[in-house]
Structure 1
Amino acid sequence: MSTDRPWLSSYPAGIGPEVDMDEFASIVDILESSCERFRDKDAFENMGKSLSYDDIDRLSRAFGAWLIHECKLKKGDRVAIMLPNVLQYPIAIFGALRAGLTVVNTNPMYTARELKHQLNDSGASAIVVLDNFAATLQQVLADTPVKQVIGTGVGDLLGFPKGPIVNFVLKYVKKAIPEFRIEGAVRFNDVLARGARLSLPQTDVQPEDIAFLQYTGGTTGVSKGAMLTHRNLVANMQQSSQWIGKRAAIGEEHIITALPLYHIFALTANCLVFMKLGGVNHLITNPRDMPGFVKDLGRIPFTCLTGVNTLFNGLLNTPGFAELDFSRFKFALGGGMAVQRAVAERWKKVTGKPLSEAYGLTETSPAVCMNPLDLPDYNGSIGLPVPGTEVCIKDEEGAKLPVGEVGELCVRGPQVMKGYWQRPEETAKVIDEDGWLHTGDMAKMDKKGYFFIVDRKKDMILVSGFNVYPNEIEDVIATHPGVLEVAAVGVADEKSGEAVKVVIVKKDPSLTAESVKAHCKEHLTGYKQPRYVEFRSELPKSNVGKILRRELRDSAKPG
């Protein structure tokens, strides 16, 4: 087995090659087990207000009961959730799942066009929406199958007097809530009050039932719903919790949840895995407010943190972060985009703990590979496949490549999605007849079983026939002390087909294109060196903080 899976010999002590897939039949099983086991412990916290596992049990039961009895939803119906990280989110997720429904996580920053597509494509019957985004929903509601709208404000579960004050400030001081009017909408708190008087019927939730329709691929065309079953998510929870198990004290961890829960990384790694471990999820509603985020970290006894490279870089460059108390801090997990060496090394210097890179996809629930959490330093890899997962590198013809060869990273395991919702042709493009999911990422494996992402297939730059990977260019430029953020893209070039262009946000206002090029000349071979350097005040990013190279390519004009 180890010749086919060389990574097993690199596993840390105590981590087995497989996970127990029979321990839990569904996410609901795990939730109810945790609520029983950790009943009096805090489960979720936001803006100083905490909900215990007992609260989550009671409130999600009420929410699920209301959806079945008053909203008349039946098993398999879809419920959209359009919220940032607030206490209503886990109640809505767990309530819908306990009622046997499918959750459609919806980005609150969607435009009306994007929202309309997702609600229609998923066939959502109901939606929970934050007041701040209800005006967008109002624009498209009549053209969707949504029958019931449940509205809520940021402060609705924060208690008195804090909740009403927060809602008042957002509406009347910050003017953050555009005017809207949605006939027949009900309030989240009213739903909980009415649901508390109803009983939640015992719903037979099966492993192959769809738990989440998780939309992906919006940056490459129309977004598609990955069908993630209860079995997929349970598998990934088992895999991830076994991997971090030695590092996590059951019932004791405080995880910082700054990435939005509608994103698969935070949904599984934070909300679900730490719920299973009996930890507290500290929900950060607006992590883009970096000074406010650092202030939050100052009051929380945090032990773990997940994020993307831009989040870690942002924290490191925010005054006050380096002075925080890191005495309880155990590990940081980076995913969603490549972790840059310069950021990882500075992170270790400031916090005393390594920034461990992991790798996953929406289609894999998401974890595929993780670095051992006991590694002392950043190693540039995405780590080892998690237990029960097969990973290989294939060439264009689908043949497996040997150690050290670059090809497409392919994944097979219990966490791989059922397919794309109502898109069998799209599913067939990414999952081959042997069950391998083709990720579109170019990678290689070393002899110890560690995998290294070279780049996204579509982001690769072809300079005079040579493959140039933007990650490598960005890694080098990020080590320049005058650079805050950088993205590399290919632009059309008459002589070489494509040339490298870099777009930089300055840390040092006196930074020049010449000093950037001189730095690259020292560290990169000729054809990899950027021909064009552009400075901007900010880089285009997804709502999760992932740099959108495609937008830079679309707007790229040499010069």
Structure 2
Amino acid sequence: MNTVSVHSGGQAGDRIWLASYPDNVPAELPPLKHASLPELFEECCARYADRLAFTCMGRSITYRQMEVETRKVAAWLQSLGLAKGDRVALMMPNVLVNPIAACGILRAGLTVVNVNPLYTPRELEHQLRDSGAKAIFVLENFAHTVEQVLAHTEVRHVVVATLGDMLGPKGHIVNLVIRRVKKLVPAWSIPGHKTFSRVIAEGARLPFKPVSLVASDIAFLQYTGGTTGTAKGAILTHANLLSNQLQLSYWLASAYINKKRPEVLTFVCALPLYHIFALTVNSLMGMSLGAHNVLIANPRDIPAFIKELGKYRFDIFPGLNTLFNALMNNPEFAKLDMSHVSTLAGGMAVQRPVAERWQKMTGAWITEGYGLSETSPVASANRFDSAEFSGTIGLPLSSTEFDIRDEDGKSLPLGEVGEICIRGPQVMAGYWQQPAETARVMTADGFFRSGDMGYMDARGYTKIVDRKKDMILVSGFNVYPNEIEEVAAMHPGILEAAAIGVPDEHSGEAVKLFIVRKDQALTEADVKAHCVANLTNYKRPRFIEFRSELPKSNVGKILRKELRS
């Protein structure tokens, strides 16, 4: 174990968490070996040339093929006359075109703007206008959305891909089914667009000129989910993302302290690659380790997802609480052998009942981590070799500091709840063209104010109690929705729950609980009795509303904002 002296006061100066580190994880990262993501990517393609890099719908692509195809995309983009640093949007689910386009954009010296394919025209227009994107790669299923906003943006080049692209002869059948049978491609018309296959063909005949990039150049504009207001573009540099994938690579090694590490790791990639969690954990860390990522295009189709899981021996499974819960509620999942899989959770709090059920069903604990778009994303994680579910977000990663601060920015003692502030090489350079917003979240001494409320214990583990803005104030008492939801999840008749504050003339606010039943016979009286047994009076939900489903973001995070509105 690393040892460190412990003082009272601010955690950042003490770094007490180092005493809880796995032996093989350094306190500080070594200097970065690469100046840019393309440099890392090209080295990985050479080193792991014959290994599978990505698989989707039964079709695989090797690292050698990734180098060839991304070079074609980069050459084509350069032929458009785009300048280094120009923004190119990527509006794709988890299909093979996604990583090929993303790496091609980066190799051309450009900046990737990840876009949620399910955005409405209003949301898409905001992101394209805000980022100043000059080009966009979009799957044909969502081209109708692009068509509606194109005239109001700076986008001059549109590349339209199909689900069958990169799938070989099978791709023609896939496209036929998607277009004609399932009718999943709404009519669209974008004059002057290029097909992805045409881009690949033209790029093959064009020269590629490697671009000199430095660590401080912008790699991605990663827009925050907009769950706390208007979506803002977090500026993530090459250094931010190189640092985070390196931090994660060290941390992952702790998964193999007590078990043999496979020669080639296989990742489940069910979370969308346009989301920062999958982008860094699956794509960037995966490639740096020469791993094989199996892309799941539609994880909401649980039966098809489970069937896909049965075809491979997976080693790493990044996911979310809601996804793990949905899998366990399908009887076919119990037939899979998941005992050797290291499961990493992020994006939202993992509820203890879900973690305990996962352990009982698979034999392995879920390792909870924590981060935000602004931290590339992972800032802390629990140990992979832990024999229990801690209920915390774990320890700050190498070269990362946490400080729990009050409203005035003063460091709080251990055990006291305040705002989690983060400093480290993975913290963004700021918000794109939003100096006032950047100043609001960055402290003078370089800490990012996360907006999450939590406390640190004596071992250096941090427990989140909730987001600042989601906190409910009942008669002067702070009530944290996460706690209410975790208690609700303990009831065997409840599938999912979400708590919000609603105005109340007597107590200022009261707790309202939205529930999706697992047992259709469950009543309001049952829920209230369960809460009486598990929550003090002021925390108990005053109002219960049953729903068939809860509103969620595209990665499965429950949107309390929508419930409030």
TM-score by length of 2: 0.96
Q: 2:519 aligned with 1:511, yes or no?
A: no
Question: Secondary structure, in 3 states, of the residue corresponding to 1:419?
Answer: coil
Task: State how many pairs are aligned.
Answer: 551
Name the residue aligned to 1:61: 71
Q: Are 1:358 and 1:370, in contact at CA under 8 Å, matched by a contact in 2?
A: yes
| Pairs within 5 Å for 1:370-519 | 370-519=381-530
Distance 1:10 1:260 in 2: 32
For residue 323 of structure 1, the aligned residue among 312, 330, 335 is: 335
Q: 2:242 aligned with 1:234, yes or no?
A: yes
Distance 2:353 2:255 in 1: 25
Question: Secondary structure, in 3 states, of the residue corresponding to 2:309?
Answer: helix
Q: 2:303 aligned with 1:296, yes or no?
A: no
2:109 is matched by which residue type in structure 1?
A: G
Distance 2:351 2:388 in 1: 13
- Per mean C-alpha deviation after superposition, the further-off stretch among 188-197 and 345-354 is 188-197
Name the residue aligned to 1:351: 362
2:237 is matched by which residue type in structure 1?
A: T
Tell me by how many angstroms 1:319 deviates: 2.4
Tell me by how many angstroms 1:74 deviates: 1.8
Tell me by how many angstroms 1:544 deviates: 0.8
The verdict on how the C-alpha distance between 1:318 and 1:200 changes in structure 2, with shifts beyond 3 A counting, is: same
Per-residue CA distance 1:490-535 (angstroms, 9 max, x = gap) = 1111111111110000000100111111111111111111111110
Gaps of 5+ in 1: 555-559
Name the residue aligned to 1:521: 532
| Pairs within 5 Å for 1:92-491 | 92-160=101-169, 162-247=170-255, 249=261, 252-327=264-339, 329-491=340-502
Tell me by how many angstroms 1:202 deviates: 1.8
Distance 2:309 2:34 in 1: 34
Q: Are 1:251 and 1:279, in contact at CA under 8 Å, matched by a contact in 2?
A: no
Q: Are 2:32 and 2:242, in contact at CA under 8 Å, matched by a contact in 1?
A: no
Distance 2:238 2:562 in 1: 35
Distance 1:272 1:250 in 2: 19
1:441 is matched by which residue type in structure 2?
A: D
Question: Secondary structure, in 3 states, of the residue corresponding to 2:190?
Answer: coil
Distance 1:251 1:233 in 2: 24
Distance 1:514 1:360 in 2: 37
Q: Are 2:254 and 2:383, in contact at CA under 8 Å, matched by a contact in 1?
A: no
Per-residue CA distance 1:382-422 (angstroms, 9 max, x = gap) = 00000000101000111000100000000001111000011
Tell me by how many angstroms 1:219 deviates: 2.5
Distance 1:91 1:142 in 2: 27
Question: Secondary structure, in 3 states, of the residue corresponding to 1:541?
Answer: coil
Tell me by how many angstroms 1:32 deviates: 1.1
Name the residue aligned to 2:58: 48
Q: Are 1:368 and 1:389, in contact at CA under 8 Å, matched by a contact in 2?
A: yes
Tell me by how many angstroms 1:379 deviates: 1.1
Distance 2:207 2:254 in 1: 39
Distance 1:530 1:22 in 2: 50
For residue 83 of structure 2, the aligned residue among 70, 74, 81 is: 74
Per-residue CA distance 1:115-164 (angstroms, 9 max, x = gap) = 1111111111110000000001001111110010000111111111x211
Tell me by how many angstroms 1:221 deviates: 2.6
Q: Are 1:372 and 1:383, in contact at CA under 8 Å, matched by a contact in 2?
A: yes
Name the residue aligned to 1:557: none
The verdict on how the C-alpha distance between 1:481 and 1:204 changes in structure 2, with shifts beyond 3 A counting, is: same
Distance 2:454 2:367 in 1: 18
2:101 is matched by which residue type in structure 1?
A: A
Q: Are 1:21 and 1:235, in contact at CA under 8 Å, matched by a contact in 2?
A: no
Distance 2:561 2:246 in 1: 35
Question: Secondary structure, in 3 states, of the residue corresponding to 1:321?
Answer: helix
Tell me by how many angstroms 1:301 deviates: 1.6
1:95 is matched by which residue type in structure 2?
A: G
TM-score by length of 1: 0.97
Gaps of 5+ in 2: 7-13
CA RMSD in angstroms comes to 1.1
Distance 1:325 1:339 in 2: 22
Question: Secondary structure, in 3 states, of the residue corresponding to 1:247?
Answer: helix
- Per mean C-alpha deviation after superposition, the further-off stretch among 217-226 and 203-212 is 217-226
Distance 1:93 1:2 in 2: 44
Distance 1:326 1:14 in 2: 25
Distance 1:175 1:432 in 2: 51
Q: Are 1:112 and 1:136, in contact at CA under 8 Å, matched by a contact in 2?
A: yes
Q: Are 2:24 and 2:253, in contact at CA under 8 Å, matched by a contact in 1?
A: no
Per-residue CA distance 1:261-305 (angstroms, 9 max, x = gap) = 000000001110011011011110000111111111011221111
Distance 1:41 1:243 in 2: 23
Name the residue aligned to 2:10: none
Per-residue CA distance 1:11-58 (angstroms, 9 max, x = gap) = 011111011233121111211111111100000000110000001111
1:401 is matched by which residue type in structure 2?
A: L
Q: Are 1:341 and 1:378, in contact at CA under 8 Å, matched by a contact in 2?
A: yes
Q: Are 1:86 and 1:154, in contact at CA under 8 Å, matched by a contact in 2?
A: yes
Question: Secondary structure, in 3 states, of the residue corresponding to 1:299?
Answer: coil
Distance 1:2 1:253 in 2: 37
Distance 2:556 2:42 in 1: 33
Distance 2:478 2:42 in 1: 51
Tell me by how many angstroms 1:222 deviates: 2.0
Per-residue CA distance 1:83-108 (angstroms, 9 max, x = gap) = 00000011111111111100000000
Identity level (%): 57
Relative contact order, higher structure (CA 8 A, sep 6+)? 2
Q: Are 1:20 and 1:238, in contact at CA under 8 Å, matched by a contact in 2?
A: no
1:200 is matched by which residue type in structure 2?
A: F
Name the residue aligned to 2:9: none
Tell me by how many angstroms 1:198 deviates: 2.0
Name the residue aligned to 2:11: none
